[in-house]
Amino acid sequence: MTQRTDDFEVPLWRLGILLSALSVAGAIAAVQPIEFPHNKHVAKGLDCIDCHITVDTEAAAGLPSVRKCMLCHSKFAKTGPGVQKLLVYSKQRREVPWERVYMFEPEAQVKFQHAAHIWAKVECKTCHGEVEKMTVAQLAVRHTMGRCLTCHRERHATEDCAACHF
């Protein structure tokens, strides 16, 4: 099967390979409703846990709520296009529909616990790359079973399948 454009034909399998390669390389970033420059927030002294507040207590790190963002942006950094968009969400009492960058495929049947990794002193960058240098959050580390097992072995963590899979 091919995809026809006005100028040429491209076999769909080639497009699939290209998209897969870009995804693996981390070149495809999620399109967010508001630009969130992690590097600027880190430069201001914020840690991951300041915005991802459930990272040490729940399975998911959680994405920041509008209320959480407004705790700072109602006092500091009140201007800019991103802040203006944030204000619209706040006034409408709506949450920002952030796109997740990291997730496990459902068929992997992973029951990942951020909290367990935080308690084990695993740094965020181990699984998420150097987000503090990113202007746009993007997939920097592929979460494969091989990568997880290598890390577990290096840290002498459990390799029991039931610890991570249901």
Q: Identify the pLDDT of residue 11.
A: 54
Query: Is residue 116 assigned to a domain?
Result: yes
Segment 64-91, tens digit of pLDDT: 999 999 999 999 888 888 999 999 999 9
Query: Which of 109, 108, 131 lies closest to 61, judged by CA?
Result: 131
| Position 90 in a domain | no
The low-confidence residues of the chain, meaning pLDDT below 50, are 2, 4-8, 10, 12-27
**Domain coverage including residue 113:** 8-63+98-164
pLDDT of 78: 86
Is 1 inside a domain boundary?
no
What is each CA distance from 122 to 10, 34, 37, 42, in whole angstroms? Answer: 44, 29, 23, 18
* Straight-line distance from the first to the last Cα atom of the chain, in angstroms, rounded to the nearest whole number: 37
pTM metric for this prediction:
0.73
Structure-token pair, residue 104 = 């496990």
In a domain, 52, yes or no: yes
Domain count of the fold of the chain: 1
- The Cα 108–Cα 28 span in angstroms is 21
